[in-house]
Amino acid sequence: MQRRSLLKLGAALPLALSAPAQLAARVMSPFARVRPGDPYWPTPAQWDELRAAVGGNLLEPQALFAPCLAEAGGAACADVSQNLNNPFYIGDQPGGTQVSGWLDAWTPAPSAYAVKARNAQDVAHAVNFARAHNLRVVVKGAAHSYLGTSNAPASLLIWMRALTDIRLHDDFVGAGCVGKMAPTPAVSLGAGCMWIDAYTAVTTRAGRYVQGGGCADVGVAGLVQSGGFGSFSKGFGSAAAGLLEAEVVTADGRLRIVNACQEPELLWALKGGGGGTFGVVTRLTLRTHELPEFFGGAWGTIQASSDAAFRTLIARFVGFYSERLANPHWGEQVKVKPDRSLEISMVQQGLSREAARAVWQPFFEWAKSSADLRITDELGAGGHKAQSWWEIQGNPSMIPDKRPGASPNHGYWQGDQGQVGAFLHGYDSLWLPAALLEPSAQPRLVEALFSASQRKEVGLHINKGLAFAPPAAVEASLDTAMNPGVTEAFALAIIADGERPTYPGESRPPMDLDAAHRDARAIDAAAAELRKVAPQAGSYLSESNFFNQRWQRDYFGPNYPRLKDLKKHYDPEGLFIVHHGVGSEDWSADGFTRLR
């Protein structure tokens, strides 16, 4: 692990502006960002000033498939096509997005320029340049935004990929917190790290645990700022709940170190208030925990022969969940499918193989003995030593990054392969309240799940609802900007679908738009069935509907007014605007024009 000393800058780092640029900044309309070709777009000489300030790391990003448009048979085009199934490759491209678009919502588009930041000073230079020249800014970590919030045409991209320092602390005390905060084991992560980097350092090497994301190649800063869940969140709370300190460059170009003792309100906003909104995070320090002895799971698929038998199967599972699984051990997914099957792919922390099997035995025995049910994928449960969970080598569940020179520590879950580069037809999510597990409410929940599954597969992400988590995890998760409804939900229901990658410029058969729109409508219809039993349910901003009209309430609940005040305080000019981000309602959909 590379350990470089982290920057400690307390003051602004203004990039010297030439006199014409200062004049231009004064006379430009504050209500519209400039685009290439506009009179006030920076001159080549001004871009050169920025390039020099950031040590030459100013790029002109290309669309992923630009090489294929230039020369379809060329080596560069072959390189993109061959690597398109590798999320690490996509993340390494300044014009890369891990989602190739969303029907009627957004299409990937490269920025006009990108600063590939090496450190916080580079970020401050980029922020100051963008503010002075009235540019549209976009920030990118590992590029996993479903909502497309880390790419924007005609913008200046601040690209965090290269900030990959990691430092473990036995006794972390935040800046300015001596005597006010108990020393805490923690890890500091550069904002370009992905979760696999964090898990390798914290778990595989140091035998501890940090709460991060489930998908190994997701970026640490994007996930924490949206709240963030991993497979074991039911035991440890949201990822945001573990944030002790952040280093962030705000719209005024200042590098701030925020924690419980310094600017605690900004720390709170960064805990789930949304990425690309309050500033550019350059470093995060997260609490680490004792590693449970075991990690494991339960798996298998059961198919019912009739609608009646499927209702019985769902009801039996809901009852079983509520009696035996509604606790900090069990997370991840159960899918309720249109072909009348229930697919179990759950994980657990803290239970040995024998203990995990004992939990599931009654349910498995019932399923195997029922004449109306068929086991279509073998049922099982288990557990093993937790420390090897994220090991790449010799782990059949992990796909390594096989490119020459790639880090041997980089790999991703087989189960996430289908998502790499996917094009979305639709997506929605809602937190299902634990009150629906009350015996008197269970029949309504079962009927809603059955009806929804007739329209589209429903994924119950048990780890993304924090009811039944330990009290300390709930308390810490409530001290974030997320919708507090997350702590009363037993699961996040996700309904989503799409198709194989469809990047602009990629050679592929034309999309069947009618079928794609039918699919989108089916997703909406399934979500509507679930909303009948949870009309007030919130939604997880990182995994939500691009077209959600009540996103402020759904993502943040009663926290929205507080977030809006903080946005006005830290970014009064709206330098950081993303789709469905705090304050974005004051801007046009493309983020270029201030509406009010």
Residues binding ligand FAD (CB under 6 A): 98-99, 139-146, 149-150, 160, 191, 213-215, 218-219, 221-223, 225-226, 228-229, 275-276, 280-281, 416, 419, 542-543, 578
| CB 51, min distance to ligand FAD, A | 21
Kindly state the smallest distance separating residue 96's Cβ from ligand FAD, in Å: 10
Q: Please identify, using beta-carbon distances, which residue of 42 and 219 lies nearer to ligand FAD.
A: 219
Angle at 116 between CA 399 and CA 131, to 5 degrees: 135
Q: Closest approach of Cβ 237 to ligand FAD, in Å?
A: 12
Q: Which is nearer to ligand FAD, 21 or 583 (CB)?
A: 583
> What are the Cα distances from residue 491, in Å, to 302, 379, 469?
20, 22, 12
Output the smallest distance, CB 376 to ligand FAD, in A.
26
Q: Which is nearer to ligand FAD, 40 or 106 (CB)?
A: 106
Residue that is written with structure tokens 């390798």 in the block: 200
Neighbours of 76 (CB within 10 A): 13
**CA–CA gap between residue 464 and residue 539 (Å, rounded):** 10
Q: How far is the CB of 193 from ligand FAD (least distance, A)?
A: 10
Which of 237-256 are b and which e, b meaning 16 or more Cβ less than 10 Å from the residue's Cβ? bbbbbbbbbbbbbbbbbbbb
What's the one-letter identity of residue 185?
Answer: P
Nearer Cβ to ligand FAD (143/446): 143
Q: How far is the CB of 184 from ligand FAD (least distance, A)?
A: 22
Which residue, 24 or 224, is less far from ligand FAD as judged by CB? 224
Burial annotation 355-380 (CB, 10 A radius, 16+ → b, else e): bbbebbeebbeebeebeebbeeeebe
**Residue 228: CB minimum distance to ligand FAD, A:** 4
Nearer to ligand FAD, 219 or 296 (CB): 219
- Helices in 54-159 by DSSP H: which ranges? 66-70, 75-83, 87-91, 120-133
From the CB of 76, what's the least distance to ligand FAD, in Å?
23
| Residue 158 beta carbon to ligand FAD: minimum distance, rounded to whole angstroms | 8
Per DSSP, what are the bridge partners of residue 139? Answer: 158
How many CA atoms lie less than 13 Å away from 379 in the CB half-sphere? 23
> Backbone dihedral region of 71: left (phi > 0), alpha (psi from -120 to 50 degrees) or beta?
beta
- Taking the least distance from each CB to ligand FAD, the nearer of 25 and 406 is 406
Which CB sits closer to ligand FAD, 108 or 340?
108
- List helix spans (H) across 395-512: 442-455, 471-478
Beta bridge partners of 303: 341, 374
Nearer to ligand FAD, 172 or 232 (CB): 232
The Cα 455–Cα 364 span in angstroms is 27
Nearer to ligand FAD, 214 or 253 (CB): 214
**In the numeric block, which tokens belong to residue 253?**
């170009």
Structure tokens at 186: 């923690």
Cα radius of gyration (the chain): 24
Q: Taking Cα atoms as reference points, which of 196, 197, 174, 180 lies closest to residue 247?
A: 174
CB of residue 451 vs ligand FAD: minimum separation in angstroms?
A: 27
